[in-house]
Structure 1
């Protein structure tokens, strides 16, 4: 009995010991949160639990990421609570990992607001590397291929001329005219109809949705919901972003599906114009592709293709205001080669400085400043560092484009850095030498933009014709009489970045060029009906610019 009594305190103490040990184990695990393991790539100092979360700014995030790239080298890591972000800051790192190891670097991290709430899981851009994404990727490459893109050249030519006339009529709204140019091109490519005016309700609805969605995706709340999924269980009043996001998704889905079903009906009754939706309808006959997914494939192409190109072109106009000597050099080349006629795609080889301006525009204002995040699907090593499974992979596009070792004086708009570069964007992306890649606007690896050759043409046509027809002058302050120079660092940020509105005076270079622009529009407008839509779309032609890639 005494022995049993002696054992009682020990037995009573055993659960206490277990609880203490469990508590210490939890503390030990918590103490590791936010810490950077020794075998991870280097990065800024961390704090317990939160890691580097407190150091990531709300706005101008790309500037801080660029600073860290200069400090920590081609690859660095950021600890975000329980998650890790690996940032790639060199052309070699992107080529070695995202291109060459695309089988494990082509997925996407979880994007709760962007994909689940705002997109209903349907947006290809944010899909993980699953069977649906692979199917959609195959379709997109088929319908945006180089051969298929020839049928869109008449759209590009007409919409470009419409933009020029719009700038003659109302130059102060130049950003809206650029946006209408890229939007109408993509509504024709995707749904088969023109966006004839910046007042078009379909245009306004699509880009009101895009602008607000972009703000929501780039918000701190969206980031926190990805980093701490438990927060998604908060009641609706604490997360108004969820309710608004679901409402936006329903509006967007209704818009995209309406356009898609109209094109589908047009194919049945013989009224459909050549467009991506027509191709998707044909694909539906042999593949398991729902109307909802087909609508989102086409709608996503509309938004991404339109806004990326528009932002780059607005950046180009800003550069011409800040660096007028570049415009003068380009105009001298245009006058020498084209004289009194508008430049076209046949002039690409004879306008090396214009081609260089297009490349420099892509470098100078890349839109996706930090790319679209990738996710690695298994443990990997690089440069002696461990990259853990499920790490978020960031392509630091801004950091690479602004690297003074790669591009001396990177904030200067200097087309001469590309004067001997005759590659298309596709050529450069495929070049086995990563130092020869001109820019990273269109991503890398298996997530690379399939329509980059279409964007190349739209940008070239816009830049060449804008410079042929117009001068971009600085506004003058009415009080100080000083010229107003736009601030190149003031950007509207979200999913994509572009310059904030800035003052400029866009004027025709001469009365002759103004007359020529109007006559060009009058001639091509004969192909349109009373509603500004195509009567008959001319067949796509093979232009001399294709000889570089084919």
Structure 2
């Protein structure tokens, strides 16, 4: 007769084998999707590169809502969807402090409140002097060193961000803090998108391996240290200026004021500020790189944009005030179209279901990851005519800003989903609208952007499907021609930058804070 222990052991093994046999299967009632394999589910079918293209194909085959089974995780692509699924390696690489990865809860809501106050529309209007200064600076950079256009774009978006968050400019493309931030972000994106990171999420048992052989664990910790060191240095320097009374208006001043009223630790605030810097710098740079590519590939769109800005400005340098001119509609349409045509977060950021739900007759299990396949939506032939083409004319009758459209109650009428959706929609959309308007209007006013030539004099047309990056995608840098449309416009750019420098000191920082900048939250 078998002992009770052996019976218990046999039962335990049988139960474990039964549970293991269920891993990789599509739960009953879930949305349809590609056939699965035991244990793996659909994990083996996820491409290592350009996964957004495959996800679009599955949407065409299985419908607007379908499921992927990734080991132990149910992923549904398409208030209770506002959390985030646990991303083990990403969380270790950021100490769980990057807002974009936080679970829905009190900490996320508190940080969201900070950003909402900082980025609300009435505050954004006060940031216009910074946007105009930096876009003037990048125009001058393009005159002097046009071959470094993608480096100028990164400096431009980073300098806008450092001013709004920390109150200092980034005047050079080789600024050490700029290079360190982009290097850290690139490494974070690489480790987040690595296949081994996904394994630790879909098979959580692997997390119990010894740290020395746990996939990517030590690498994630090294990225975490670099991220926290940079964020801490920037925060404590900003906080020192607040304490000494020398700080200029910026987000960190508001955070320091909030810390004096609430119990918020320094590193939490340091990473909150760093989140704003990274998001505004990296995503906007990716979008602007996409616009440059669109102008080179779609020359007719460039000519239409030039005609539109010429009607508004003539030989005058464009300004933010031109955004409200009805004649600038094509430029505003370019803003919408580049956000649709080149979405940087092609697959969005996964949401997590905090309780079981039903949608379109399908069962959505608690804990499932819900992914808004932004690339697939933006390339949907049923939603957009000729969606692969960069065609701003599709928005000529749409006079809403992209941020107004994103906040509208009817998602079927949204112009694009580049800002995400739901409670976690991007708070910086008002800044993005204005940053893009200035950057789009000024280069097309001042320059002709053309393909580079090969040895035989033929145009080198960049491949719009050749994207780089993991979490954020952007065109692979490519050679191009940047030529002033006339000497008078080149002179206007030089004069605008000369006038702007009167506002800066010898270190290329603001002598005085632009009037109207908000000081606290």
Q: What's the offset of the Cα at 1:271?
A: 2.0
Are the equivalent residues in 2 in contact too, given 1:153–1:540 (CA < 8 A)?
Answer: no
Q: Specify the alignment match of 2:330 in structure 1.
A: 353
**Counterpart in 1 of 2:354?**
377
Q: What are the Cα deviations for residues 320-360 of structure 1, in whole angstroms up to 9, with x where unaligned?
A: 11010110111111112210111122212330001101110
**Structure 2 residue 501 is matched with structure 1 residue 525:** yes
Matched-pair contact (CA < 8 Å) for 1:178–1:310: yes
SS of the equivalent of 2:94 reads: coil
What is the count of residue pairs matched by the alignment? 516
CA distance in 2, matches of 1:139, 1:118: 23
Q: What residue is the counterpart of 2:420 in the other structure?
A: 443
1:410 corresponds to 2:387: yes
1:170-210 deviations in Å (ceiling 9; x for gaps): 11111010010000000001011000001111111111111
Displacement of 1:15 in angstroms is 8.0
Report Cα offsets for 1:462-505 as digits up to 9, x if no partner: 00001001111111111x43211000000002110000111211
The match for 1:8 is none
Residue 534 in structure 1 maps to residue 510 in structure 2: yes
Identify the residue that residue 142 of structure 1 maps to in structure 2.
117
**Distance change in 2, residues 1:189/1:333 (3 Å):** same
1: CA distance between counterparts of 2:448 and 2:517? 31
Q: Report the 3-state secondary structure (helix = DSSP H, G, I; strand = E; otherwise coil) of the residue aligned with 1:31.
A: helix
Residues 154 and 540, structure 1, Cα contact 8 Å, conserved in 2? no
Q: Are 2:58 and 1:68 equivalent residues in the alignment?
A: yes
Query: Is 1:313 aligned to 2:303, yes or no?
Result: no
Distance in 1 separating the partners of 2:223 and 2:24: 35
> After superposition, where does 1:283-362 map in structure 2 within 5 Å?
283-348=258-323, 349=325, 350-362=327-339
Structure 2 Cα separation of the partners of residues 131 and 14 of structure 1 = 48
Aligned equivalent of 2:368, options 391, 396, 404: 391
Query: Which residue, out of 168, 193, 200, partners 1:225?
Result: 200
1:105 counterpart SS class:
coil
CA contact (8 A) 2:351 2:369 kept: yes
8 A contact 2:190–2:470 mirrored in 1:
yes
1:18, distance to aligned residue in structure 2 (A): 7.0
Deviation by residue 1:44-91 (Cα, 9 ceiling, x = unmatched): 011111110110111101000010011111110001112100000xxx
From 59, 78, 82, give the equivalent of 2:68.
Answer: 78
Task: Pick the aligned partner of 1:214 from 181, 184, 189.
Answer: 189
Three-state SS of the structure 2 residue aligned to 1:351 is: helix
2:41 pairs with 39, 51, 61, which one? Answer: 51
Could you list the per-position Cα deviations for residues 384-432 of structure 1 after superposition, in whole angstroms to 9, with x for gaps in the alignment? 0000000001010000000011111111000011111111222112212
Distance (whole Å) between structure 1 residues aligned to residue 147 and residue 33 of structure 2: 45
Shift of 1:12: 4.7
* 1:20-59 matched pairs, under 5 angstroms: 23-59=13-49
Of residues 467, 491, 499 in structure 1, which corresponds to 2:475? 499
**What is the Cα deviation at residue 36 of structure 1?**
1.1
Tell me how large the CA RMSD over aligned residues is: 1.8
> CA shift at 1:139, angstroms?
1.4
- Structure 1 position 39, deviation (Å): 0.6
Residue matched to 1:368:
345
CA drift at 1:268: 2.7
TM-superposed CA distance for 1:19, in Å, is 6.3
Checking the alignment, whether the CA contact within 8 Å between 1:120 and 1:249 is kept in structure 2 is yes
Alpha-carbon distance in structure 2 between the residues aligned to 1:301 and 1:24: 50
2:135 maps to 1:163: no
Cα deviation code 1:109-133 (max 9, x no counterpart): 1011112x21112111111012111
Q: Is the 8 A contact 2:31 2:362 kept in 1?
A: yes
Query: 1:253-272, CA deviations, whole angstroms, 9 ceiling, x for partnerless residues?
Result: 12112211222221233321
Query: 2:132·2:320 contact (CA, 8 Å) conserved in 1?
Result: no
2:228 counterpart residue number: 253
Instruction: Report the alpha carbon displacement of residue 151 of structure 1 after superposing the two structures with TM.
Output: 2.4
Q: Distance in 2 between matches of 1:476 and 1:469?
A: 21
SS at match of 1:163: helix
Query: Contact 1:266–1:272 at 8 Å: present in 2 too?
Result: yes
Q: Distance in 2 between matches of 1:259 and 1:23?
A: 53
| TM-score, normalisation: structure 1 | 0.91
Structure 1 residues 403 and 56: alpha-carbon distance in aligned structure 2, compared to 1, 3 A threshold: same
Secondary structure of the 2:432 match is helix
Question: Which ranges in structure 1 are unaligned for 5 or more consecutive residues?
Answer: 1-10, 89-101, 543-550
Equivalent residues in 2 for 1:110-125, closer than 5 Å: 110-115=86-91, 117-125=92-100
Larger radius of gyration: 1
73-82 or 143-152, which deviates more: 143-152
